[in-house]
Each structure stands twice: as structure tokens, then as C-alpha cells.
A and B are shown apart, each in its own frame.
Chain A
Amino acid sequence: MDTLFHDLRIACRSLRKAPTLTLSVVLTLALCVGATTAVFSVVYAVLFRPLPFADPRGILIIRENWRGHPGSFSVGNWADTKREDQLLQYLVPTSGLNVNLAGSDVPEKVTAARVGADFFPLLGVQPALGRGFRPEEDRPGADGVVVLSDGLWRRRFGADPAIVGRDVRVDGVPRRVIGVMPASLDYTLYDEELWIPTAFTPAQLAEHDEHYLFVVGRLKPGVALERLQPELDRIAKDLRERLPQVNAERGLEAAPLHEELVNEYRTRLYSLLGAVGFVLLIACANIANLLLARATTRTRETAIRAAVGAGRGHIVRAALAESLVLAVAGGALGVVAAYWGVAALVAVGPHDVPRLMQARVDGPALAFVLLLTLASGLVFGLAPAFRMAGQHPLEALKDGGRAGSSGQRDRLRGALVVAEIALALVLLTGAGLLIRSAVALNQVDPGFDPSGVLVGRVSLPANGYETPEQSEQAFSRIAEGLEAMAGATAAGLVSTPPFEGGGDNGLIPEGRPLAIQSAIPTDMRLVTPGYFATMGLRLRAGRVFTAEDRSGAPLAMVVNDRLAREAWPGQDPIGKRVACCEPGPDGGPNWKTVVGVVADVRAEGVGREPPREFYLPMAQAPRAAWRWIDRTMTLAARTSGDPLALVSPMRQAVWTVDRSLAVYSIATMNERRTDSLAASRFSTMLLSTFGGLALLLAAVGVYGVISYGVTQRTQEIGIRVALGAGDRNVVRLIVGHAALLTGVGLLLGLTGALVLARLISGLLFRVSPTDPPTLGAGIALLSIVALLAAALPALRATRVDPAVALRAE
């Protein structure tokens, strides 16, 4: 231990004498360790930090699937599955909804969840105050209870411990607060802030064709996950046989909840972690190069140490002590940089990344820094340490002997630069591919015109709007109010606006067997007539809805291009009839007639293919549809001016109908479009930053090695000049060396870039992973930068005095 402290003391003293080198190394390391730790903190929070539940790995999502596409459960299928299953301890239904919450003051729109009584026991989370649901409260008529989240309790009720036992009004209905959950449960399925029981009615429990439940489960203790799928297959087979008209081609499947939540972000985050790791490796290579150069300049000092009795172990230990001091200093500053980095990543990261907001530099991150620091110290310290220990003391004491004429190039330093170039090309290619994807995404026509459009959402409470007629009338009046707004050139309502997906609903074109096997999976939207003009949807054929498409009139439908193409290939879809959504009065199909075709809309996001869509007039909405959409519609209004100027008039239009209704999720459609590209923008921005950093570090690396090489080869250059080499010959010699290193690095990097491109192919949009212009640009950019970095030392080499050839004696 005493020896270690001695070595560290000497190392500190020695590094103090080389302040420029010390500062360069520590700052480079701090920047790279900070960036790596910041990205690690985000990756850890999103992918690895256990969910705040008991045995979180045991929580499963159980889904129905139809023709292999995963979907939601119907209440009837959930009830049958729960009854039949032998392996699950819990199988709990949930669904999200928006409610108006009123206590002692003004109502507030709050995201809520209906959950089965076993929800909290399934999660293994105890309430911080009060209790959870009792089984008898999960029944119609006995469900007047509510459990609050910690966040809502603090924000809305001032953390009043006496809240338990008090009544609050949820959608106008009084409910007794029975418990408050702990803060750890603020990470939830729907971002919900309160929970109410599902309390399914007998009619709901008998319904097998309305699929909207998100079901979570937990295996019984000791049951392996592998046993579950055969059990689910058995139950699904039984469901298909008992109810073929609604369950044909349906199956059941299970997946760990955590996997399901983060799956979409896994590749993206791993790519970023890999990228920043590459930057750190490049920085380590640069630092190793600096220390190797330092080792060479200290040849004589090392030889003297060896001559007075220092063994290889002593010399290696002393050199590693310097690396350790540098690494620890860089790591310590890196922690500070990581704090800033995490704050920046959270600020600019897409808001829909699960648990991004919880990213912080905590215990695991600090352990990561420690590991990274020690590993970096070893990576950049070992080679110089062994280089120093490997010197022959006698040769070294001869003060270089004929170093100039031997002209031995430093292959290790060259190899480090090759590695830097290779890693930098991999990063630049990745960044280039994402940039091209981002450009392509920005150029995509979403199928409508988002500029000048404001949207906001309104949910009608169950109390006062129990019947479909009440909901339809309220929203019709709101639509009239919107259309009358000053400054609005068009206004309309839609059940789900673009970029938010759509309500899954199969339809069967007339002429096909009326069985579920004939159904075409589609997205349904309820709209008012003004919606098409408001969003600027292009009419391809026929007409859009008018006020004549009212209740009692012939049932009309507008389809999009894709659905028209696939349902009636080569035919005119106008006038075709379609069965969907609800049975007719006689129990047979309730035929709707296609009256128009509109252009495809990229409804699930700019980067995704347009789905098959159909639009129904809100006035002719199937009765069950109001339940499917939870009595929620999105209001849209177009203006030729600033769309945000319509916020207040939009609220007024709603309050004219019902003063208690809140307009929430207000945004312009351009903001929605920008949000839908947030994940792509985030990855592109970070990978571009890392690519730029890698380019800079690689340039510094090439400059360092070539510059050092010129110093080391001064006498050789002098000899060449003495033998007749001109400036051009000297420049060619030096730049040629850089070109060789760069060429080998590019060759290796090309292989790595192709491998990386395959790994991130899922993040690309309209760009091939082997996109020649991107690869070519990366190679060209690195070549130019490397050659420019070599040019300066090359010019210095032309000023070498040839008389050094005679001074060797």
C-alpha cells in the first residue's frame, strides 16, 4: 500500500510538470466519460432499472392476437380466460380513460385507469395511505371508490392525510377516496393519476367482440413462463371453438411487461450507448498515443531507473500510476459532465420514452463511472507502460544511437490511429444514415396539411352523457360552435386525429362471406363533415360527408386510397357496400355505402405506412362506438393566422355547451408532427454529435501520430533531402504515411459500418443500410480531415534542415 501511495505521489508530481498533456488528457476523458455516463444513465433508467413493483420480471402482458397481430382483450374473452386458466395467480383487466375530477374547486381533466380489484396485489404495492380495492367493490353499484396517485394527492389535495374517507367527484359522480398509492407507483401504464374499479356489468362480461382491455398478469409462484403459452393456446382454441363468429383466427400470447414497454427503444438506446462507447474508445486511443509519445521522450529517464535497479514491475506500476491519476481526475470531472449530460438528454429526449424523466446520475451510474474510469486508465495506460518497461537500458542510455537512420516507425501508434479511423467511420456512417432518414422523414407528405391547424380534446363524463344520443348532440353543438369561431376557416371533430393511430375495426365488403375470416383489419374514425376541409384531406373520388349524412339517413362511409385499392382492386369503390361495426336492426349486416375516397394519411406517424382507414359521420356513429372512444373527440380548427389564437375561442365554444368540460391536449398539428419525429430527431442529433466528436478526435489522433512521426523521423527526412528529395517528395512521404493509416482504418471501418448499419436498419427510413452516398460521404469526409490533419506536420517536415544528416556523428 505504501508503494502504491509512493507511486501515486510521484505520478502526481510528474504530471504537474506536464500541465498541457495532463489538462488535455483529463478534459478529453471528462468529456467522453461524462457523455458515456449520461447515455448510460438514460439506458439504465429506461431499460434496466427494475419497475417499481414486487418481482417486476414476473409481471406479464397477456394479449389477444388476430391473424398474428397483437391486440386488446374483449371483456368476455378476458372473463373466460380468467376462468379457464390454471397457471396465473392474477389476470387483471385495465383500460385508460380521461375523467373530470372535481373536489372543492374547479374541475380538472385527469388521466385515470379502470382496473380489476387485484391490480395492486398483482403489482405487490401497498397503499401509502388507506387501502386498495376490495373484491366486492369491483361490482356495478358498489364501485363508488377511488384510489389516488401520490402525484395527484400532492398536487391537487396538498398532501392532505385526511383525504382518505372524503368524497371527490369523478366525471360528476361522487366517489369515496379509499387510498393513496406511494410515489414509486407514479410510473404507470397510462400515466394515470387515479384508479377506479372496472365493475363490469353482466352485459359487458358477455361481450366478446369489443376489444379494448389491456390485461396484465402474474404467474403462480414456481410456474415457469414457458408453461404459459401452451396453456394460453389451449384456452384460445376453446374460445375459437365456442365463439367462432368473433374468435376465429384469434390467439392468446404473453410477454414480460418490461420487455413490452421498452422494446421500441431498445435498438435506439443500445445504438446510442454503442456510439458513445466508440467515442470513448477513440479518446482512449488518442490518450494512449499521447502517453506513448511521452514514454518515448522519457526513454533516458526510464533507462536510468532501470540502471539503478528498477525491475519491469516497478516501471509498469509507476507508468500505470500516472494513467490511474489521469483516469481518476478525468472520471471525477466526468461525473460533473454526466450531471449536465443527463439533464440535457432528459430535456431534449422524446417525452414518450418510458421513464426517461427518471434518468439520473445515481448509484449504478457512479459504479459505471468507476468501472469506466479504471477500464479507460488500463486501456490507455497499458501500452505506454509496457513500452517503457520493454526498453533496453543500455541502448536507451546511448541517447538514441542511430535512431535517425534506423527510421523505425511506431507501429503501435499507427495501429491506434487505424482503430480510431475505423471507429470514426462506423460512427459517421451511422450518423449519416440517420441524418438521411431524418431528411427523408421531414420530406414525407403526411397526407394532410397540418399548417394552421389547432387541435384539442374533449371527454364527456358518463354522468349526464350516458346515452349515445346525448354524446352525439353535445359534440354536434360543439362542432357548430367551432365552425362559428371568428378566425377559423374550417372546423371539425374526429375520434382520433392523425399521428395517434386509430380505432381497430374490421370490415367486410359486400360479396364476401359474412364471417370474421373475411374481415379486413382497418382503422375507424368518426368525423363531422367539416373535418376533411379542416385537415386538408385530398378527395380522390366521390364526396365527403355533408350535413345530410345525419342519423336516419342512408349510412355513408368514406374510405382511404389504400383500403379502396385492397378491398376493391381495379374497381370503382363508390357505391360499394360494406358491413362493419354493428349489426343491423334485423340482426343482419348494417350495410354502409362508400360515398367517397380520400388520400392516405400517415395516421400512425410520419415514418409509418398509412393504414387502411374508413371514416363514418359522427351523426351515424354505431351506438357502441361512443363506449369504444370513451366519449372523447378531438376538436380541430384551421386558420390562416396563428393557430394558437384559436385556443381561447375553442374553449369558449366548448363551454357554451357545458361549462364543466375541459379542453385538454391542446396543440397545433405542426407540433404533433414534430412530436411524432422526436425519437428520430433525438437519435439523429446524438449520433451526429458523437460522429462529429469522433471525427474531431480522429483528426487529432492522425495529427498527433504524424506530427510525432515527423519529429521522430527528422534525421531520416534530412538524409532524404540530402540525397535530393524535394518538398514534394517529403510531403508525399509524410502524407503517404497518413494516407496508408487512413486507408487501412477506412477499410476496417467499412466492415464495421456495414455491420452497424444492419443493426440500426430498423431506425432507418427510405435509406438502405448500405446506402452508397452515405458510405462514400463518410469515407470522403474522414479522408479529407485525415489528410488535412497530416498536412501541417508534412509542411513542417519540408523545413527540416538537411544538414542534420551530417550531425548524426
Chain B
Amino acid sequence: MPLAYDPLIRIQGLSKIFHTKEVETHALSRIDLEIRAGEYVGIAGPSGCGKTTLLSILGLLDSPSEGSYVLAGEPVATLHQAQRARVRSRAIGFIFQAFNLIGDLTVFQNVELPLRYRGMPGGERRAAVHEALERVGLLHRIHHYPAQLSGGQQQRVAVARAVAGKPLVLLADEPTGNLDSQNGAQVMDLLAELHAGGATIVMVTHDPRYIAQVGRTVYLYDGRLVDRPSLDREVA
């Protein structure tokens, strides 16, 4: 995959419809969005507005019902499962609200996991893991298990896991949602630092303190992209 594209992400007319037995739910409707390389974009909106669904599609965890999605110049909306997995392991880094570290694996093994799936040779893997953990200040915890770490430390490990493979884009879903304000601030500082280093970050959040820190914020309401005044009117 080429290293530099403009825009890095382009989605057009993207919709996502969930079907249950008799109900059709429009989670996303006709979304058009472009994100350039190096941007720090926030996605905000009230609960149930489709933020996580949008992030799932951006992260190739789910596929859209309609519309196109081009990532780094490559159409990815209709890739099959194995192709999506391959793109995810090379181009996308995830930071989850619930950290989602694997309890049976050490800090090193957790960070190493996506690199292993990518098929990176052992020596390179070790170097990349050390570099990522050094970046988040947790190299000294390399052989610990997640349960032996605080919540803030676990999320920093999750950040290290997300960046270790130098992905094209970092997707963060409420990365501070399970943290106290002090640890939350530390993680946000870390993301800002990564952005300053050139990382493209897309972050879902509804915390106004953190919306202020991102470069651009897009708002979702009932599955549609809206501007801030419209959102304020809807929720008022």
C-alpha cells in the first residue's frame, strides 16, 4: 500500500442498515467524509448516533450497506474478510475504550500481536515493540500481565499496540472512557504527541474537553453528518 495519499480516507454516500427480524435500522445514512494524512479528527454526537458504527467501518471491522470507502487510494468497502484482516493488520491501529488487552498475554506479547499477524520477522517485531513501549513509557513493564497494571497503564499499552506497526491511521474509540481524569489526560497527551509526530488519528469522543484538542470534529446525529449548530438544535 502506498505511503502517502490525499485524502487518506474518502467515503462517499456511505450507509449502514441493520436488519433484524422485522425491523430495519439505519445506523448511518449517506455519509460523505474525507480525512487527510496527518489530520486529528474527532467524531462526536449523542449516544446511539452511529459513532461506533462509523468507526467500525473506518476500521474495516464492518462493511457498509451502501457507498464507497477508499483507504489510501484503494477501494476497501467490498473486500472480503481475509482481505480486510490483511489491511487492518498493516494500515489501521485500534485503541479501544475497554483497552481490550488479552489477559493471558504479557505486555510484550499484547503489543507484538498485530505484528505477528502481519508476518513481521521476529527481530523486527522485538525492535518495534520496544520502540512503541518506550514511546508510551512502559518499557519497564514489558513482562507484566495486564492485570498487574493500572487502567491508565493498560490504555498506554493499548496505544503502544496500536502504533507499534506504524499504521496509516489510528482509530480511537472513547480512549478515555474507562479512565479517571488524570489518566485520561495522560492518554490524550500521548495521542497529541503522536499527532505532532505525523500520525493520522480519528477519535470518537463525547467529552467536550477532548473535542477541543482535536484539529477537526465531525458531528453525527441519527446516522447523519450534521454541523455543530444543527446538532445543538436537535439535542436542545
Contact = CB atoms under 8 A, between A and B. Distances in A.
A726 interface: yes
B30 interface: no
B40 interface: no
Contact of B96 (A727, A729, A805): A805
B83 to A, nearest CB: 10
Given A405-B99, A409-B104, A806-B173, A724 B114 contact: yes
Contacts of B118: 724
Contacts of B99: 402, 405
A402 B103 CA distance: 10
A390 interface: no
A407 B102 contact: yes
Given A725-B85, A729-B117, A805 B61 contact: yes
Contact of A720 (B56, B61, B103, B113): B113
B98 A809 contact: yes
A597 interface: no
A726 B85 contact: yes
A808 interface: yes
A806 B56 contact: yes
A402 B101 CA distance: 10
A724 B61 contact: no
Given A803-B56, A803-B61, A806-B61, A721 B98 contact: no
A407 B104 contact: yes
Given A406-B103, A724-B118, A802 B61 contact: yes
Nearest to A808: B98
Contacts of B161: 723
A657 interface: no
A723 B103 contact: no
A719 interface: yes
B59 A405 contact: no
B89 interface: yes
Given A406-B147, A408-B104, A724 B98 contact: no
Contacts of A408: 103-104
A579 B213 CA distance: 117
Interface in A717-758: 719-727, 729
B92 to A, nearest CB: 8
A6 B88 CA distance: 56
Given A725-B117, A806-B173, A808-B97, A719 B102 contact: yes
B150 interface: no
Nearest to B167: A724
A722 B117 contact: no
A723 B56 contact: no
A726 B86 contact: yes
A210 interface: no
B12 interface: no
A721 B117 CA distance: 9
Nearest to A721: B85
B17 to A, nearest CB: 15
A523 interface: no
B105 to A, nearest CB: 8
A729 B100 CA distance: 18
Nearest to A798: B81
A719 B118 CA distance: 15
A722 B104 contact: no
B100 A405 contact: yes
A405 B178 CA distance: 14
Contacts of A720: 102, 113, 117
A729 B146 CA distance: 22
A483 interface: no
B167 to A, nearest CB: 10
B89 A724 contact: yes
Interface string A766-809: 00000000000000000000000000000000000111011111
B62 interface: yes
- Residue of A404, A409, A727, A802 with most partner-chain B CB within 10 A: A802
Contact of B114 (A404, A406, A723, A727): A723
Nearest to A407: B103
A379 B96 CA distance: 42
B177 interface: yes
Contacts of B29: none
Contacts of A716: 102
A808 B102 CA distance: 13
Interface in B118-149: 118, 146-147
Nearest to B82: A726
Contacts of A808: 96-98, 100
A726 B114 CA distance: 11
A797 B51 CA distance: 27
Contacts of A404: 100
Interface string B163-193: 0000000000110011000000000000000
Contacts of B94: 722-723, 805
Interface in A400-429: 402, 404-409
B113 A723 contact: yes
Contacts of A719: 96, 100, 102
B95 to A, nearest CB: 11
A290 B82 CA distance: 34
B82 A727 contact: yes
A803 B62 contact: yes
A407 B104 CA distance: 6
A400 B97 CA distance: 16
A62 to B, nearest CB: 69
Nearest to B115: A724
A723 B96 contact: no
B55 to A, nearest CB: 7
A100 B97 CA distance: 97
Given A406-B147, A805-B100, A723 B89 contact: yes
A404 B104 CA distance: 11
A305 B81 CA distance: 44
Contacts of B100: 404-405, 715, 719, 722, 805, 808
A796 to B, nearest CB: 14
Contact of B81 (A409, A727, A807, A809): A727
Contacts of A806: 52, 55-56, 61, 96, 173
- Residue of A407, A801, A807 with most partner-chain B CB within 10 A: A407
B57 to A, nearest CB: 10
A405 B101 contact: yes
A402 B98 contact: yes
Contacts of A802: 61
B85 to A, nearest CB: 5
Contacts of B85: 721, 724-727
B78 to A, nearest CB: 17
Interface in A371-402: 402
Contacts of A729: 117
A802 B94 CA distance: 12
Nearest to B165: A724
Contacts of A715: 100
Nearest to A720: B113
Contacts of B90: 724
Contacts of B82: 726-727
A806 B94 CA distance: 10
B97 to A, nearest CB: 4
A504 B205 CA distance: 99
Contacts of A721: 61, 85
Interface in A671-726: 715-716, 719-726
A447 B97 CA distance: 82
A359 B146 CA distance: 61
Would you list the 7 A-B pairs with minimal beta carbon distance, nearest first? Answer: A724-B89, A406-B103, A724-B117, A808-B98, A809-B97, A723-B114, A407-B103
Interface of A: 402, 404-409, 715-716, 719-727, 729, 801-803, 805-809
6 contacts: A405-B100, A408-B103, A724-B86, A724-B118, A806-B96, A806-B173
Given A727-B85, A803-B61, 15 more contacts: A405-B98, A405-B100, A405-B101, A405-B146, A722-B61, A723-B89, A723-B113, A724-B86, A724-B88, A726-B86, A729-B117, A805-B94, A806-B52, A806-B173, A808-B98
